[in-house]
């Protein structure tokens, strides 16, 4: 991860810690390090969030976040800030930032604090009088820019005195790296001092690169113009890193050409098989749907009788399967004719006998 990305990560961490603790936590353990007598619950939570950030990220980084992000956001009133920062300053925090808070419109002074605050202040001042020991490694000088308004110190830690301040986007020369992670710098005025590594970037904030595309020719234009924010620079740099880490697509292999062959003919009773074979010998198969039956003519399978129906069928000419059946009505009309004939014959006989007997009498 680049220095700029680390800087953004630290800024976001501070902001998240502050907003998270202020918004919902009931744990005010961090506020125990500061005299909170007389504060409202809201002010105590705000104090706890500030001291938590100092514990995690250091006094300088927390002060810079307060001045550039948190206080300007207007979440709390000026009176809230004055009370909270007075308590923190009274207990030894942000002693070097009194002027900066005053310039930001927050009236801060340690004169109104209680005796308990003064006692704690003396203890913290005693602690701050013990300077952090460190070593400095000389490095090949290079140019860097400040990402926000900040203070510079006589040593590579917040235990050292503030010796000046730098404006956002001010150019410095980095000449050494301390064992604390801070950098030794030379300002434009020639003064030598130390600054936190989270406050520097190697990207020139005065330059904005605009890329456009005209047909097939790419046009790249460098514009000297408005300075972008440090956060914007970092975000663009992170995007560029992520894009460079994306895996490149492997060239796709050409798919082999397959030829087809019917290896089993389909019938009206069985499916067929179509086999595909490639040049390299790979193969796979597909089913061929069954064929439809071919119907033939009607055939009498059972002759009708005088009293019972008959039956006729239509079969597939290929496989012989019966596809359709129909009833043949019984020959009742023939039976009726026979009966009628018999009745007429019997009637005729009876009539002849009667006529014969009558004639014989006469």
Residue 252 inside a domain? The answer is no
Number of C-alpha atoms within 13 angstroms, CB side, residue 262? 8
Q: Using DSSP, how many helices (H) and how many strands (E) does the chain show?
A: 8, 15
pLDDT over 90 percentage in the chain: 12
Residue 95 inside a domain? The answer is yes
Spatial distance between the Cα atoms of 6 and 135, rounded to a whole number of angstroms: 22
Pairing between strand 136-146 and 207-214?
unpaired
> Could you report the per-residue pLDDT of 238-247, keeping only the tens digit for each?
566 666 665 6
Same domain, 144 and 226: no
| Residue 46, burial from CB neighbour count under 10 angstroms (0-12, 13-18, 19+) | buried
Same domain, 44 and 15: yes
Number of domains in the chain: 5
Residue 337 inside a domain? The answer is no
Same domain, 17 and 124: yes
Same domain, 106 and 68: yes
Spatial distance between the Cα atoms of 272 and 264, rounded to a whole number of angstroms: 5
Same domain, 104 and 184: no
Same domain, 175 and 113: no
Residue 14 inside a domain? The answer is yes
CB 206 within 8 A of CB 183: no
Q: Which residue has the tokens 């709390």?
A: 76
**DSSP-based helix, strand, coil % in the chain, nearest 5:** 40, 25, 35
In this predicted structure, what is the pLDDT of residue 93? 86
Same domain, 151 and 191: yes
Look up the domain containing 114 and give its range.
3-128
Spatial distance between the Cα atoms of 167 and 126, rounded to a whole number of angstroms: 31
Same domain, 101 and 71: yes
pTM flag (> 0.75):
no
- 3-class secondary-structure state, position 48: helix
> Could you report the per-residue pLDDT of 61-92, keeping only the tens digit for each?
888 888 888 888 888 888 899 899 988 888 88
Mean pLDDT (whole number) for 301-305:
82
> Could you report the per-residue pLDDT of 24-50, keeping only the tens digit for each?
444 466 777 687 878 888 888 888 888
Mean pLDDT (whole number) for 314-319:
83
On average, the pLDDT of the chain sits at 76
Pairing between strand 272-278 and 258-264?
antiparallel
> Could you report the per-residue pLDDT of 85-122, keeping only the tens digit for each?
988 888 888 888 888 888 888 888 744 444 444 444 45
Same domain, 14 and 89: yes
Spatial distance between the Cα atoms of 187 and 195, rounded to a whole number of angstroms: 11
Same domain, 22 and 109: yes
């Amino acid at each position: 991860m680049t220095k700029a990305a680390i800087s953004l990560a630290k800024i976001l961490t501070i902001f998240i810690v502050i907003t998270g603790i202020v918004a919902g936590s009931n744990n005010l353990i961090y506020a125990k390090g500061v005299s909170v007598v007389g504060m409202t619950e809201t002010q105590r939570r705000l104090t706890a969030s500030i001291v938590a950030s100092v514990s995690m990220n250091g006094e300088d980084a927390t002060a810079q976040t307060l001045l550039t992000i948190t206080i300007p956001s207007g979440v709390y009133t000026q009176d809230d800030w004055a009370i909270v920062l007075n308590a923190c300053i009274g207990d030894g925090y942000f002693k070097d930032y009194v002027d900066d808070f005053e310039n930001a419109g927050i009236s801060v002074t340690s004169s109104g604090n209680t005796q308990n605050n003064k006692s704690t202040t003396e203890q913290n001042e005693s602690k701050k009088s013990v300077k952090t020991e460190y070593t400095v490694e000389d490095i090949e000088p290079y140019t860097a820019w400040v990402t926000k308004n900040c203070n510079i110190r006589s040593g590579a830690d917040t235990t050292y005195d503030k010796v000046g301040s730098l404006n956002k986007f001010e150019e410095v020369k980095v000449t050494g790296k301390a064992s604390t992670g801070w950098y030794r710098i030379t300002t434009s005025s020639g003064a030598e001092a130390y600054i936190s590594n989270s406050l520097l970037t190697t990207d020139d904030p005065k330059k904005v690169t605009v890329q456009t595309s005209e047909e097939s020719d790419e046009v790249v234009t460098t514009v000297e113009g408005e300075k972008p924010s440090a956060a914007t620079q970092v975000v663009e740099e992170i995007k560029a890193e992520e894009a460079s880490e994306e895996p490149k697509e492997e060239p796709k292999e050409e798919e082999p050409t397959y030829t087809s062959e019917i290896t089993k003919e389909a019938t009206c009773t069985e499916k067929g098989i179509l086999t595909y074979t490639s040049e390299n010998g790979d193969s796979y198969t597909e089913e061929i749907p069954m064929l439809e039956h071919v119907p033939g003519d009607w055939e009498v399978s059972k002759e009708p009788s005088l009293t019972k129906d008959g039956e006729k069928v239509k079969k597939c000419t290929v496989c012989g399967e019966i596809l359709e059946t129909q009833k043949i009505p019984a020959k009742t009309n023939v039976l009726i004719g026979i009966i009628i004939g018999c009745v007429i014959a019997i009637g005729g006989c009876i009539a002849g006998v009667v006529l014969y007997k009558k004639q014989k009498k006469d």
